[in-house]
Each structure stands twice: as C-alpha cells, then as structure tokens.
Amino acid sequence: MTTKKFMMVNRKAPYGTIYAWEALEVVLIAAAFEQDVSLAFLDDGVYQLKKGQQTKGIEIKGFEKTWGALEDYDVTQLYVARESLEERGLSAEDLTVPVEVLSRADIGKLMEEQDVLLSF
C-alpha cells in the first residue's frame, strides 16, 4: 500500500466538543493503515495532552490514557507549539506523554512537508 505523510492538526480543547476524541479515532485508523502519521497540537489543542484529566464528574469518557497507547501503534511524532503552551501557562512537564516542543513556524514547515492535513 502507498504510504503517505498524514498530519492531524489538533486545535480544540477536549470534552467541550467531541472533535479531539473523534480525531484520535482517526489517528488510530491511519496508524492501522500503516501511514506515516504525525500529530500537531496548536492553540487550545494543547489542552488535550494535559496530565491528570478526571472526567467522572462530567460523565464523559476520558481519553488521556489513549495518548500513552499511541506508541504501540508506532505513532511517535507528536509536535506541540511552544507559543500555545506558554500562552496557557503550561510546559512540556504538564503533558501526559513525551512530545517535541516546536515553534509555530517550525510546525508550519512540517505542515508543508505533508501529503494530507486533517484538521479537527
């Protein structure tokens, strides 16, 4: 099968809308299709990776643990925008999985290299 470079561009916070969760489902399927999958987290998307999510009180299924499972699917390219973290008072230590923190401009360059950009 042809392998293409897919990047999922995540810019929305979790739980307030379903986009983050349904985007993660796309990531898992793309990985199952053995595509070259990477994820970019920009703007409120960085909140998706925040450690310590406890969703019992809102009765919505939490998905923090799924990020940790991505490695099993060989999805290891996770890029987070430095500016988006800083604006929100967060740092890489606040995130649930190891990521590469890059400037928005560098993420822009990575986006240019992709075959398919899926934005949620």
Partner 1 sequence: MLHIINKSPYDRCAVDSALATGAGVILLIEDGVYAAVKGGAEEKKIKGALGRFKFYALIADLEARGLGDRVIDGITPVDYAGFVDLVAENKTCQSWL
Partner 2 sequence: MKFSILVNEGPYTHQASDTAYQFAKAVLAKGHEIFRIFYYHDGVNNATRLTTPPQDDRNIVARWSKLAEEHKLDMVVCVAAAQRRGIVDEGEMKRNGKDATNLAPGFRISGLGQLIEAGIQSDRLVVFGD
Residue (51 or 104) nearer to partner 1, CB? 104
Binding mask 26-45 for partner 2 (x = CB under 8 A): x--xx-xx-x----------
Determine, following the binding rule CB under 8 A, whether residue 6 of this chain makes contact with partner 2: yes
Q: What angle do CA 109, 13, 58 make, to 5 degrees?
A: 160
Other residues' Cβ atoms within 10 Å of the Cβ of residue 22: 10
The amino acid occupying position 105 is A
Q: Pick from partner 1, partner 2, none: which does 35 bind, CB < 5 to 8 A by kind?
A: partner 2
* Residue 38: C-alpha distances to residues 55, 56, 61 (Å): 26, 30, 24
* Residues 6+ positions from 17 with CB-CB distance below 8 Å: none
Which residues contact partner 1 (rule: CB under 8 A)?
Answer: 9, 11-12, 42-43, 83, 104-105, 107-109, 111-112, 114-117, 119-120
> For binding to partner 2 (CB under 8 A), which residues are involved?
1-2, 4, 6, 18-19, 22, 25-26, 29-30, 32-33, 35, 115-120
